[in-house]
């Protein structure tokens, strides 16, 4: 199932990352009798089955590649059906750690989108924990369910096709994450669902939304430790005797806002 680390050999049904270089890379499911085709030729899966992960393979054109065990990031990056902006690993990772997650916790998510963040959350709280994801768009619910299924993470996520602004069923949750365009609408239900002193995280594309959300958190009461942060990721081109930051970089993904639930007194 999805990200399985138990075997060192590729078997029928295994997921494999085929990596030619930093851009030509695919995550595929190996099936007996099947074939993988790309612009660099093809390779029969029967040639891959039985190989150890980490092996070199050769396409019909002679092009070489390596096969790796895909990580969660590889899956999200290369297998996910995308119907929405996908959260970047840098942001997802930072949120998971700042929410204080660990195995066994119960987390709320508002706005499941294509399911990328739900995957990171589920990965962090599995196997004992659960993610409760609210999503208004039913097409998104389908896409996210399929994606989580592929990764073997659906069993840890409860997706509800509902507007969290109208209320959240769960109580005493360990953390919450919100990724919708009008996050202030769900601040109250999120508050109700959280354990006291737990952390809520918000992912926000524009400064104006940050401004509005933060003022809402302040004016509304019940929140402390409000913090706004942004991460920039800089890749490096490493060539023989010529290290330099990559010419192109992603200039902005979004702002992250954290707040802690206070008792209203």
Residues in 41-60 at the binding interface with a copy of itself, rule: CB under 8 A: 52-56
Residue 26 vs 68, nearer CB to a copy of itself: 68
Q: Which residues contact 237 (CB under 8 A, 6 or more apart)?
A: 243, 244, 245, 246, 247
Shortest Å distance, C-beta 151 to a copy of itself: 11
Is residue 262 a contact residue for a copy of itself (CB under 8 A)? yes
d(CA 115, CA 159) in angstroms, rounded, equals 10
Is residue 37 a contact residue for a copy of itself (CB under 8 A)? no
Shortest Å distance, C-beta 183 to a copy of itself: 15
Is residue 63 a contact residue for a copy of itself (CB under 8 A)? no
Q: Report the residue from 44, 166, 182, 233 that binds a copy of itself according to the rule CB under 8 A.
A: 233
Task: Tell me the torsion sign for CA atoms 97, 99, 100, 102.
Answer: negative
| Residue 242 CB burial class (10 angstroms; 0-12, 13-18, ≥19) | exposed
Q: Report the residue from 78, 149, 195, 216 that binds a copy of itself according to the rule CB under 8 A.
A: 195
Reduce the DSSP state of residue 256 to 3 states and report it.
strand
Residue 75 vs 141, nearer CB to a copy of itself: 75
Q: Directed axis angle between helix 138-151 and helix 116-125, to 10°?
A: 50
Backbone angles phi, psi at 157, to 5 degrees: -125, 130
Reduce the DSSP state of residue 98 to 3 states and report it.
helix
Shortest Å distance, C-beta 73 to a copy of itself: 7
Is residue 236 a contact residue for a copy of itself (CB under 8 A)? yes
Choices 28-36, 38-46, 130-138, 209-217; region in contact with a copy of itself by CB under 8 A: 209-217
Is residue 22 a contact residue for a copy of itself (CB under 8 A)? yes
Interface positions, 83-112, toward a copy of itself (CB under 8 A): 89-90, 92-94, 96-100, 102-105
Is residue 243 a contact residue for a copy of itself (CB under 8 A)? yes
Is residue 23 a contact residue for a copy of itself (CB under 8 A)? no
* DSSP element (H, E) containing 109: strand 106-110
Reduce the DSSP state of residue 54 to 3 states and report it.
coil
Shortest Å distance, C-beta 11 to a copy of itself: 14
Reduce the DSSP state of residue 191 to 3 states and report it.
helix
Q: What are residue 106's DSSP bridge partners?
A: 130
Is residue 67 a contact residue for a copy of itself (CB under 8 A)? yes
Q: Report the residue from 13, 41, 221, 224 that binds a copy of itself according to the rule CB under 8 A.
A: 224
Residue with token string 């996910």: 80
Choices 41-49, 107-115, 132-140, 208-216; region in contact with a copy of itself by CB under 8 A: 208-216
Q: Which residues contact 242 (CB under 8 A, 6 or more apart)?
A: none
């Amino acid at each position: 199932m999805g990200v399985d680390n138990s075997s060192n050999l590729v078997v029928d049904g295994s997921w494999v990352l085929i990596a030619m270089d930093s851009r030509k890379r695919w995550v595929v499911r190996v099936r007996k009798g099947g074939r993988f085709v790309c612009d660099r030729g093809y390779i029969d899966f029967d040639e891959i089955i039985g190989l150890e992960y980490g092996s070199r393979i050769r396409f019909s054109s002679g092009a070489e590649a390596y096969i790796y065990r895909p990580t969660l990031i590889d899956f999200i990056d290369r297998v996910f059906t995308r119907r929405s902006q996908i959260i970047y690993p840098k942001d997802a990772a930072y949120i998971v750690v700042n929410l204080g997650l660990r195995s066994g916790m119960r987390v709320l998510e508002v706005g499941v989108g294509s399911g990328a963040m739900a995957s990171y959350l589920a990965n962090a709280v599995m196997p004992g924990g659960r993610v409760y994801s609210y999503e208004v768009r039913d097409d998104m619910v389908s896409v996210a369910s399929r994606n989580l299924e592929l990764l073997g993470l659906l069993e840890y996520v409860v997706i509800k096709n509902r507007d969290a602004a109208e209320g959240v069923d769960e109580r005493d949750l360990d953390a919450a994450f919100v990724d919708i365009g009008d996050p202030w609408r769900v601040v109250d239900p999120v508050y109700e669902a959280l354990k006291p002193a737990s952390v809520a995280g918000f992912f926000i594309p524009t400064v104006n939304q940050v401004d509005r959300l933060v003022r809402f958190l302040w004016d509304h009461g019940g929140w402390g430790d409000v913090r706004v942060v942004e991460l920039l990721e800089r890749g490096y081109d490493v060539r023989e005797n010529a290290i330099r930051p990559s010419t192109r970089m992603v200039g902005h993904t979004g702002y992250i806002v954290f707040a802690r639930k206070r008792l209203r007194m």
